[in-house]
Amino acid sequence: MNIIMSITRYNCWMQSDELLSLTASERLTLEEEYENQISWRQDEKKCTFIILDHEMYKNSGDEIESMIGDVNLFFNDPFLEDTAEIEVMIAEISSRRKGFGKQAVILMMVYGVEILKITKFTAKIGMSNSISLGLFLNMGFIEESRSSVFQEITLALPVTDDVLQYLRQESQSFGMRINLSS
């Protein structure tokens, strides 16, 4: 993937007031976005995957054109190395409400459990972001706390045998074969 073009596309998305609000992000210049992406790439406590629309990519062969969002893991607590915050953004309006967010979260959780040995996921979501709240609650996350100051709800999901089974079933439903350890 052409890194310069992908950062340019990402920065274009992040000029949207709606996305800035939904993701609790700040508007960055393109230069600031490059610096931000470099710092993320070097930070072992952050993991980002760009989400592509498979059909669009299959038809065009163009990764940049097929970009629709991203999914991230953050290791914010040095005392809880097996806990990660997860977030997802479907930036392309035409790609929303089609299951891409759920699929990306499931794949990132599988990666987190299998490769990074995560035993608990958290998600911090703005109180007004009903779509993201619904997504994570429907996946079994439960409310852990609320911050009226930040207007944010923290959801959590410990990785239990039931969660592993859910991840197996869901990932297989979109053609991925995995062997999650119990």
Residue 64 corresponds to which tokens in the numbers above?
Answer: 């940049």
* CATH code given to domain 45-173: 3.40.630.30
pLDDT over threshold 60, residue 182: no
Whole-prediction pTM value? 0.87
The answer to whether 135 and 97 are in contact (CB under 8 A) is: no
Q: Which amino acid is at 4?
A: I
* Per-residue pLDDT tens over the stretch 93-117: 999 999 999 999 999 999 999 999 9
Torsion of CA 111, 18, 135, 137, to 10 degrees: 110
Query: C-alpha distances in angstroms, 123 versus 72, 98, 131?
Result: 10, 21, 13
Averaged pLDDT for residues 144-171: 95
Query: C-alpha distances in angstroms, 161 versus 73, 90, 136, 170?
Result: 21, 29, 18, 14
Length of the chain counted residue by residue = 182
Domain ranges of the chain: 45-173
pLDDT band at residue 122 under the 50/70/90 scheme: very high
pLDDT of the residue at 181? 60
* Per-residue pLDDT tens over the stretch 48-106: 999 999 999 999 999 999 999 999 999 988 888 899 999 999 999 999 999 999 999 99
